[in-house]
A and B are shown apart, each in its own frame.
Chain A
Amino acid sequence: MSGIRLLIGTRKGAFLLTSDGTRKRWDISGLFFAGWEMYHLKGSPADPNRLYASQTSSWFGQVIQRSDDGGKTWNTPDGTPIPTSGSDGMPHGVSNKFVFDTSFETGKPLTTHQWYDGTQRPWEFKRVWHLEPSLTDPDTVYAGVEDAAIFKSTDGGKTWRELAGLRSAKGQLWQPGAGGMCLHTILLGTGYPDRIFVAISAAGTFRSDDAGQTWRPITKGLVSKYELPDPNAEVGHCVHSVTMHPSRPNVLFMQKHWDVLRSDDAGESWHEISGNLPSDFGFPIAVHAHEPNTVYVVPIKSDSEHYPPEGKLRVYRSRTGGNEWEPLTKGLPQQNCYVNILRDAMTVDSLDPCGLYFGTTGGQVYGSADGGDSWEPIVRDLPAVLSVEVQTLE
């Protein structure tokens, strides 16, 4: 019988929630990595026992954790004792090391980016926001980091190399949003093995068609009239999340700082589909596993408020690919709810009917086993939830 495993990252550690295919009873394991911020955990589509996790701390920096047994045990990929030194006298291995590429050949131009006040600052590594394992190789995984850049590991997370061409895509004009200048979305194109999409706050969305060597902005149609001096600028847009259905890799859905948008040509152009949403501000966006035209968002208020309109926690569903949205409220609090749902904190499983899950900054994880028609809290009192990913297990 199939099963579900949820990977939950929180401000104070990680949890694994497991259930059988009915999704009625859940076992909760954790707390893993107590006291550390767990920005993101994700499993390999090629080997569901291979999990990657981003563990970070303002005190002690970035650590990558890996599990090869579905989360029962965890190790830093290159964390075993090293008895000998390399020829330069330094130890072998570079566990947890994310260093921006400064080589003349691939790292140029050695860009600076815009600071909040418009001045230029050099790139500085802060943390890993998102881990995206390869669709086909458990040892290959991408990392989206702050300050915004994409790294790749092909040895199971032991060593990391920046795909520095991304920063050549007008990196000098990128700027941090309130949460930092983070690369938070990485989409690997099914059917297009060399295609990668990324999204950055606040720079925009970018596409590579050569496995990450070269990149270009794909922002035509994005309008940021309150945030940018040129509302139609090629870069600088605060994209919050982008998603797609695996069967339709040219159709993208985006939740921007303001506006929900759609592209039908792999990002070449975008059009707004906010329609009748009560607020077109939000962070996550998800697509139904079996209905590629069914989209989910969680509208919240902004600026600064970042809680559901009227204190009512409502997921909105469009079955028409956008513009026409219906509120999904059954089982969700409809008064006095002032939580936020962060960009990596909503996901769908691939069972039938499709399951949806999201976590809140109030520590609740809600699940729906019927495509969003009804919801139940799976767990209520975790630390603030940063990310929710799901594995559908055979």
Chain B
Amino acid sequence: MVRVVLPQHLRTLARVHGEVTLDVSGHVTLRTVLDALETRYPMLRGTIRDHVTHKRRVFVRYFACEQDLSHDSPDAPLPEAVANGVEPLLIVGAMAGG
């Protein structure tokens, strides 16, 4: 079970409160987690990564275990603590305002 924390606007869009938990089969990577997330919540497709290229939207970042994963390969394994549900994957909107 993988835990995912969404930014507030995407929680509203997906109509969820708090963390999202996902069953991810096989390797736990950014790609497989986001695939599972978008399968469960189709309204999130296109809001985190591009519909076609799956490139991360420019104002969205990925963090876990105090690491910035935003620029990692989408097929790189996520930290073990994320894969086994000890730590969440954080999907974060870039800072707005001054």
Contact = CB atoms under 8 A, between A and B. Distances in A.
B57 A81 contact: no
A59 B39 contact: no
A93 B42 CA distance: 8
Interface stretch (A95-103, A293-301, A321-329): A95-103
Nearest to A90: B35
Contacts, number: 69
B9 interface: yes
Contacts of B93: 59-60
B84 interface: no
B46 A61 contact: yes
Given A60-B10, A60-B93, A96-B45, A82 B39 contact: yes
Contact of A99 (B7, B48, B51, B96): B51
B45 A60 contact: no
Contacts of A95: 42-43, 45-46
A94 B46 CA distance: 9
A91 B42 CA distance: 8
A36 B9 contact: yes
Interface residues of A, number: 26
A147 interface: no
A81 B40 contact: yes
Contacts of B48: 60
Contact of B42 (A60, A61, A62, A79): A79
Contacts of B52: 99
Given A79-B43, A85-B39, A96-B46, A59 B51 contact: no
Contacts of A91: 38-39, 42, 45
A78 interface: yes
Contacts of A57: 9
Contacts of A99: 51-52
B24 interface: no
Contacts of A97: 45-46, 51
Contacts of A58: 59
A78 B45 CA distance: 10
B42 A59 contact: no
Contact of B60 (A60, A63, A76): A60
Nearest to B48: A60
Interface of B: 7, 9-10, 12-13, 35, 38-43, 45-48, 51-52, 57, 59-60, 93-94, 96
Question: Which 5 residue pairs are nearest across A and B when measured between Cβ atoms?
Answer: A79-B43, A60-B47, A76-B43, A59-B59, A59-B93
